[in-house]
Amino acid sequence: MLRLIVSRLIFMVLAAFLLLSFLFALFHLIPGDPAQLMAGDNAPEHLVQSIRAAYGFDQPLTTQYFNYMGKVLQGDFGLSNYSRQPVLDIVFPRIVNTAALAGCAMLLAMTTSLILGSFSAMFWNRPLDKGVTVVSLIGICTPVFVTGIIGIYVFAVWLRWLPIGGMSTWKHFVLPVATLGAYQAAIFTRMVRSCMVDALSRDFITTARAKGAPERTVVFHHALRNALLPIITLFGLGLGHTLGGSVVTETIFNWPGLGRLMVDAILSRDLPVLQGSIFFFAIIFILVNLIVDILYTWADPRISYD
Amino acid sequence: MTTHKKRVARGVAYMAAAATINAAPLFAQDMEPQYGGELIYAQSGEKFSLFPGRNTDNGAQDIWLNACENLFEINEDSELVPVLAESWEVSDDEKTVTIKLREGVAFHDGTPFNGEAVAFVFNEAKEKEFIYMSLLEGFDYADAPSENEVAFHLAAPFAALLPNLAYKPLCIFSPTAYQEMGEEGMATKIVGTGPFTHEEYVKGEYNLFVKNENYWQDELPYLDSIRMLVVPDPATRTAMLESGEIDRTVQISDFDLPRLEANPELTVRTMASTRQFYVVLNHMKAPFDNQDVRLALNYAIDKAGIVQSVFAGTGATVPMAPTLSPGVYGYTDMRKDGEDSIFQYDADKARSMLTDAGFEDRNGDGTIEGEDGTELSFKLWTRRGGTKGDYQVAQLLQAFLGEIGIGIDLEVMEGAAFSAAVSQPPEDAKYEMALLSWGIPTADPDEPMMYFTHTKAWKPKGANRMFFSSSEIDRLADLAHTTTDQEKRKEYVVAWMAQLLEEAPVIYLPTIHLTLGSRSYVHGDRILATDNYPAVSAWIDQEEKARQGIKR
C-alpha cells in the first residue's frame, strides 16, 4: 500500500509538470494576444507593444518558460497578468470554494443514489422502480443550467426563500448543491440500481435468503457490499465530473469557484492564473484516484497492491 | 494668452448639437434624497488591470468612476461639463490649453489635487505610453503654471482635447499613490478624488467602495458604500435583481425587458449607446475594392428586421448616420426623407447594383457569379457574445445576403482569437468580412474620424481594418481634427458622414441600446452618454426598500 501511495505521489508531481509544460506550449500556440485584449480591438500597434513591454509579454518564449518553471519549483506560481496578485492567493480560496460545492453535491448525490438505487433494485420492475427510473431519466436529460434557472425562479425570485449568488451562509449552498447534486444523483441512481440488480441475482443472495437472513440485511449487507466496487469507481469518476462540471453551476449561481476562474483566465488569456488553476485541478484529480484505489482494498479484501 | 475664454460652468455650447436621449430624471421630483445604506450593483466584471493607464474595459470604467474623477465629464445630455476643472483658456496659436482646476480637492490618500498632480499624470502617460495616448495625439507635455492650473502644450491645435479628457481611463489618480504602489499596486486599488474610496478588491468577486467623507461636492454622496459584484451571467444578474438580492444591474437581455418593466418594484431605463455594429469589408480582397458592390451589400441588409428579430424591437435602433450615433458631437440624421435608416433595405436595388457591377446569376443556380464565372461567396468572421446579439446578427446577415445570391459561411471564433485575427496588417489580414462593433466613449467624432476611416489608421496603426483609403475622407477628418471653431467643425463632420454614405467602406448596421435596471427604491441613478453608470448622486428610499421586504 505504501509503495502505491509513494509511486502515485511521484507520478503526480511528474504529471503536473508535464501538464504545465503542455499548457504553456498550447497557450502560446492558440491565437490570441493578452496585450491586444487589454488594449482593445481598435488600439494602435505601438500601444499594444507598450503593454507587451510593461507586462513582460515581449520576452522570448524560452525565457518566459524557464523563468516560470524555475519559480514553480520554488512554489511561486507567479502573478496574475492583470491584477498582479500572487496566483496562489487567487487560486487557493477558489479551490476551497469549489471543493465545498463539489463535496456537498457529491455527498447529496451518493446518499440519494445509494438509497434510491437500492430500493429500486429491491422492488425491481414494480411501480417504485419504474417511478425512480422515470425521475432519474428526467434528471439525466435535464441540463444543469435548466435545473438551476428553474430553481432560481421558484425558490429565489417567487418564494424568496433562498439567495441566488455568493456563498456566505448555509442558505447559499442549497440551490447550487441541489442543482449539481441532483444531476449526479440521477446518473448514480441508474448505476447503483443496475449494480444492485446484478448483485441481488447472485447465488450468495439466494443462500443468504435461504439461511433466513432478514431482507434488509440481504440487501444492505450482502448485496450492497458486493456491488460497491463498481460504485466506488463510479463515485470516483463522478467526483471528477462534478469538479469539472461545476463551472456551469458556478456561473449560474455566481459561485466564486475554480471553474469560473479558469474560464475567465482562458477568455482573458491570463496564463499564470490558468496554469495555477489547472495544476491544482490535476493534483485533486490524481488524489481522488488514489483515494479510490485505496478504497478498493477496503471494499474488496481480495485486492492487494503489495 | 487668452483669446476666447470659456466659462464651462455657465453651460457649454460646445456639445450643444447633442442628442436625442431618453434619460429619466435624476431624482424623483417630490422626494428629498436620503443618506445611508449600501448599494449592491452587479455587472459583468472587470477583465483586466484596474490601473487606468492599461485598460479601457467598460467594466473597469464603472469602477473608476466611483473613486477616480476626470477633469471633465460628458453628461447624459452629451454636454461637456467640468468635474475637477473649472474653466479653460486657449492660447492665440491654439497650441496651449490652460485649465483652471477646482480648489480644495484632495486625493483619497490625503495628498492635494493640484496642477502639478495633473501634469504628472499626463506626462507619465506620455512617457510610459499609457493605453489611451492615441486619444491625445499631438500632446507634447503638461506643466503647472500655478498651484491650481495645468497647461497642456500641443504640437498642433487639437479640437477634441477637452472631450477626450472626459474619457474615463484619463481620470486623475494620485501621483503619490502611484509612485508608492506602482502600476502593479494600482492594478487592484485605485486612488483618486472620487466620491467613494476603493476599500477592497477580490478578483472576480467584488469591489467595495466606502463613502469619501472629505468629498469636494458638499452633501454628496448619499450612499455609505457601494458593493460592486462581478456576475458574468446576464440571466443570473436579472434574477438577482428580481429577487432583491442586488439593487441595480446593467446589460439586461432585451427579451427580459417587458417582464421587468411590468414589475412595479423595478425601474428599467434604456437609452441609445454609441455602439454601432458594422461589417468590415477587406478592401484588399476583390470585390470589396468595388464601391458599387459595397453599396449593394448595404442595401441588401434589412436593418429594421435585425432590430426586431435580434433586439426585440427595443434593444437597438436602425443606423441613422454612418458610424456616429445620437449623442456624439456633430451627429446628424443622415437618412433620406421617408426612409427608416441609411441604406434602407431594398433587395431589388441591391441585385440591380450588383448586375451593373458585373455580378449576376449566370447559370441559374441562385448564386451570383462574376464575369469570370466565380461565385460570389465569402466567409464572415464573428464572435459569439462579444457584444450582445453579435452571433444572431451574423446569422441574419447570412440570410439577407443569401437572398440576393451571395453565399456566406459563418466562422465563429473565440473572443481572444478573433481579436488577434482582425488586428493584422493588410498583408497578413486573412478575413474577407468580419462583424464588429464600434463605440465612441468620448462622444466626440475625432476618434472615429482619425482612427477608423483615415488612411493613416490602417491596422495595426489604427482601427481602419478595411484598409479603406479616400483622400476626401482624410481631408475632412484632418480639418475637423484641427479646427477649434465648433460650427465649422460640425460642418466637416457632416460632410465626412455624407462622403461615407457615398463610398460605403463598411456595411452599416444597428446601434445597440444600454439598459440599467434597478429596484424602484433606488433614485438618482444616471446613464452617461459615454456608456457609464455613476452612483455619485444615487440614494436609497429606505422605507420603500423595507416595504418591498428587502432586509439587508
Q: Facing residues of A101 across strands?
A: none
Between CA B289 and CA B293, with CA B291 as vertex, the angle to 5 degrees is 90
What pLDDT is attached to residue A166? 87
C-alpha dihedral sign at B343, B348, B353, B358: positive
Within an 8 Å CB–CB cutoff, is residue A132 touching chain B?
no
What pLDDT is attached to residue A306? 63
Neighbours of B338 (CB within 10 A): 6
Whose cell is 474577407? That residue is B432
ipTM summary value: 0.82
Side chain identity at residue B10, one-letter code: R
What pLDDT is attached to residue A11? 83
Look at residue B386 and give its three-state secondary structure. coil
Task: Report yes or no: B232 and B204 within 8 Å, Cβ to Cβ.
Answer: no
Q: Do A160 and B549 touch (CB under 8 A)?
A: yes
Q: What is the mean pLDDT of chain A?
A: 87
Task: Report yes or no: A46 and B13 within 8 Å, Cβ to Cβ.
Answer: no
Q: Facing residues of B149 across strands?
A: B100, B146
Percent of chain A at pLDDT exceeding 90: 38
Most confident range, picked from A49-63, A277-291, B105-119, B456-470? B105-119
Chain B residues whose CB is inside 8 A of the A261 CB are 204
Of B128, B188, B420, the CB nearest to A33: B420
Look at residue B81 and give its three-state secondary structure. strand
Instruction: Return phi, psi of residue B73, to 5°.
Output: -140, 145
Look at residue A85 and give its three-state secondary structure. coil
| Residue A1 buriedness (CB in 10 A; 0-12 / 13-18 / 19+) | exposed
Cell numbers at B175, concatenated:
501621483
Could you tell me the residue ranges of all domains in chain A?
A: 2-73, 88-299
Mean pLDDT, consecutive 10-residue segments, chain B of 552 residues? 37 34 42 94 82 82 90 87 95 94 96 97 93 85 97 92 92 97 90 96 92 94 96 92 95 90 94 90 94 96 96 93 90 94 96 94 87 91 88 96 95 86 90 92 88 90 92 96 89 97 97 92 86 90 94 83
Cell numbers at A188, concatenated:
448514480
As a dihedral over the C-alpha atoms of residue B188, residue B191, residue B192, residue B195, rounded to 10 degrees, the angle is 80
What pLDDT is attached to residue B28? 47
| Structural domains for chain B | 272-512 (3.10.105.10)
Q: Which of residues 247-286 of A touch B (CB under 8 A)?
A: 251-254, 256, 260-261, 264, 267-269
What pLDDT is attached to residue A148? 94
d(CA A169, CA A153): 19
Around B132, how many Cα atoms within 13 Å sit in the side-chain half-sphere? 25
d(CA A114, CA A228): 10
**Among A78-82, A113-117, B14-18, the least confident range:** B14-18
Look at residue B509 and give its three-state secondary structure. strand
Closest CA to A165 of B260, B264, A157: A157
Task: Report yes or no: B423 and B416 within 8 Å, Cβ to Cβ.
Answer: no
Q: Which of B236, B237, B249, B442 to mutate to test the interface with A (most CBs of A within 10 A)?
A: B236
pTM of the entire structure?
0.85
The torsion region of residue A254 among left (phi > 0), alpha (psi -120 to 50) and beta comes to: left
Look at residue B480 and give its three-state secondary structure. helix
Strands B225-230 and B38-43: parallel
What pLDDT is attached to residue B388? 86
Q: Which of residues 99-138 of B touch A (CB under 8 A)?
A: 128-131, 133-134
Of B231, B419, B457, the CB nearest to A41: B419
Residue A61: pLDDT band with limits 50, 70, 90 = confident
Within an 8 Å CB–CB cutoff, is residue B231 touching chain A?
yes
Residue A305: pLDDT band with limits 50, 70, 90 = low
What pLDDT is attached to residue B162? 92
Q: Do B451 and A44 touch (CB under 8 A)?
A: yes
Chain B residues whose CB is inside 8 A of the A160 CB are 243-244, 549
Crossing angle between the packed helical segments B390-403 and B303-311, to the nearest 10 degrees: 140
User: Average pLDDT, stretch A132-136?
Assistant: 94
d(CA B122, CA A298): 69
Instruction: Give the pLDDT confidence of A3-24 residue by residue, as tens digits.
Output: 878 888 888 888 888 888 888 8
Q: Do B236 and A252 touch (CB under 8 A)?
A: yes
Could you say which of 1.10.3720.10, 1.10.287.1260, 2.30.30.30, 2.10.77.10 is the CATH number of the domain covering A88-299? 1.10.3720.10
Chain B residues whose CB is inside 8 A of the A90 CB are 203
d(CA B167, CA B274): 13
Task: Report yes or no: A85 and B203 within 8 Å, Cβ to Cβ.
Answer: yes
Of B47, B229, B459, the CB nearest to A268: B47
Report the chain B residue with the minimal C-alpha distance to residue A253. B236
In B130-281, beta strands by DSSP E: 139-146, 149-154, 196-202, 206-211, 225-230, 248-250, 266-281
More confident residue, B260 or A60: B260
Task: Report yes or no: B109 and B197 within 8 Å, Cβ to Cβ.
Answer: no
